[in-house]
Structure formats: structure tokens, C-alpha cells
Amino acid sequence: MPHRAKTFESFEAFRRDGARLRELRPVVSVGSFDGVHLGHQYLLNELVEWARREHAPALVLTFRRHPRAVMFGRDMPSLNSPEQKLRLLFKSGIDGVVMVDFDESVRNLTAERFMAEVVKQTFNARGMLIGFNNRIGKDGEGTCERLSELGANLGIEVRQGEPVAVAGDALSSSAIRKHVSEGDFLWARKLLGRPWSIGGVVQRGSRRGQALGYPTVNMPLEGLAHPPLGVYGVRVKIDRAWHLGAANIGTRPTVDPTRKTPLLEVHVLDFEGDLYGRELEVEFLFHARPERKFENIEALKQQLAHDVAEIRRRAAEEEYA
């Protein structure tokens, strides 16, 4: 068995560098795994247990962008960045992840071609575990029954995971995305099995926050689900330590009135140091206030002081700090 989990960024990379995994005939699961929520975690546990019983590697095929964004030609905000998704997948104990772009060539693979060319020829898999009601292949033709039939002819056992529900509702990334967009972090946490967070690499900013006395780190939001514009109490993971923070999701109407696209700015409380270029995780705790435009910079500075004091108070009161 491989001792170190590996990531492959294309089918070609797996064919080139995944010889050991291929030789051991892995058990494979396929899906977007957006959010890696409780349903995904249950499926991944099943995958790992099956693989261990077979003394085989557990392998996951997933995608950088949600397949529906390509299939329906519209934005489909992701619950986590590709890097964040990889970390969550590897926490389940799998041995390898093949993360590819869901492009037209993948979209047009029939179920028969997918099983023959990807699962058999590329992965040399002995088994495939699919999520409940998941369909694979062009036009969603690859039901569990169809995939099982195709797999039998290729020497690949196909199984389907059990459905998972929370409070009687089926678990789905769409439901979590809706809760996040409404700022309902409690329900998002219930469905994810962990607090909802945004992970990313700190980008170089305009340093306006520092001029206001509240230096911030800027993190990308492009392609990611996020709550309504406003100020939030957050926790920020730097290396292995968590720090309380004040975050703003918005367009900065007071200092940048022409800006249209929102960004995430985080002021990390009681921390000094340069975080540019470092990867952080921002866990959202509660909503403090909506974003609004102030009459002048002095009014904004007064509000920021009030925001920080209120976030400290509430975090201590609710035992977040």
C-alpha cells in the first residue's frame, strides 16, 4: 500500500506517475465532492473500508469546478477552493486524488467510454463506489444499474453508497450553498459536520486597512460561495493556531465606490506579522452588521473600532474566543 497520499492534476499525470496505485488496482469513487459534507464523508469512509478489506488503494476522481457549471453554462459557486477540497479529502484516509477540469471532453464521455477508458484503462480499478443517485456519463445515462452492467464486463465491481439525511432532509451541496448564501452558519455546520470556512492564499492589497489602523489580509472570493455582504466575527487559522478576527465581505463603498465585485478582508486580532502569500483558513462564526457606506473616513474608523469591540464581546460571551 502507498504510504503517502498523492495528488494527480490530470489523467495524463496519473498514467505517468501513478504506476504504483495502478498496479495495486484501486477502489475508486467519482464526484464533485463540493464541500466534502457529511454525506461525502460517509461515502469516503465506505470507500476506505472497502479498499482496506481488499488490501488496495482508495482513489478519488474529482473536479476543480463543479460539473454543473459546465453542463448548464452558469456560475456554480463552490463551497471550498480546490486546495481546501484536497485537504478535506485526504483527511478521510484516501491514498490518491485525481483532480481534473470538467471540460467538454469529459462531459461527452458516455458511461461505456468512461468505464472502459477511465476506470479500467487509466485507473485499472477493481471496484467503483458511487454516491446515492449519482449519475455518470453523458446526459446522465450512467445509473448504478447501467454502471454495474458495464463494470461486470470489465471485471469491475460497482457499488452504491447509502443515502444520508440530517433532520429528515437529504444531504446535498446545494442545500449547504443556500444556507451559506443566507448566512445560516449553524445549519451549514450541521450538514458539513464542521464549521463552514473559506480557505485561500493571502493576496497583496491596497493597504487601506493599515492606514485606517486596522490592517487586513485580502483573500480571493472568485468562484466561491459566500454569505451576504457585511461584517462577521471569524476565527483565522494561521499555521496550527486559531486567532479571533473581524472580517468584511463587500465592495468597500466608502473607500472604493466604483468596485463591483466583493472581496474578503480579514483583520486578525492580537496578531502581528506579514501574512502575504500564506495560506489561511477563515471560519465564520456570526454576522455582526451589514456593509454600508459611511459619510467619511473618520466615521468608518469609529465604526471599525465599534465592530472589533463588539466581536470581542460576543465571541467571549458565546465562548468562541
**What dihedral do alpha carbons 11, 12, 13, 18 form, nearest 10°?**
80
> Which of the four pLDDT bands, split at 50, 70 and 90, describes residue 237?
very high
> Which of the four pLDDT bands, split at 50, 70 and 90, describes residue 222?
confident
Q: Which of 127, 47, 45, 59 lies closest to 97 in space, CA to CA?
A: 59
| CATH classification code of 195-317 | 2.40.30.30
**Can you tell me the mean pLDDT for 229-241?**
94
* Total Cβ atoms within 10 A of residue 169: 10
CA angle 115, 49, 137 (to 5 degrees): 20
| Mean pLDDT score of the chain | 90
Residue 138: helix, strand or coil by DSSP? helix
| 72-117 pLDDT per residue, tens | 777 789 999 998 999 999 999 999 999 999 988 998 999 999 999 9
> Which of the four pLDDT bands, split at 50, 70 and 90, describes residue 70?
confident
β-strands 241-250, 230-238 pairing: antiparallel
What the block records as the C-alpha cell of 176 is 449547504
Residues of the chain with CATH 2.40.30.30: 195-317
Model confidence, pTM:
0.89
Distance CA 23, CA 25 (A): 5
**Can you tell me the mean pLDDT for 58-62?**
97
Question: What is the helix, strand, coil percentage profile of the chain, to 5?
Answer: 35, 25, 40
Reported CATH class of domain 6-166: alpha beta
**pLDDT for 266 beyond 90:** yes
**pLDDT for 209 beyond 70:** no
Residues of the chain with CATH 3.40.50.620: 6-166
Distance CA 252, CA 229 (A): 10
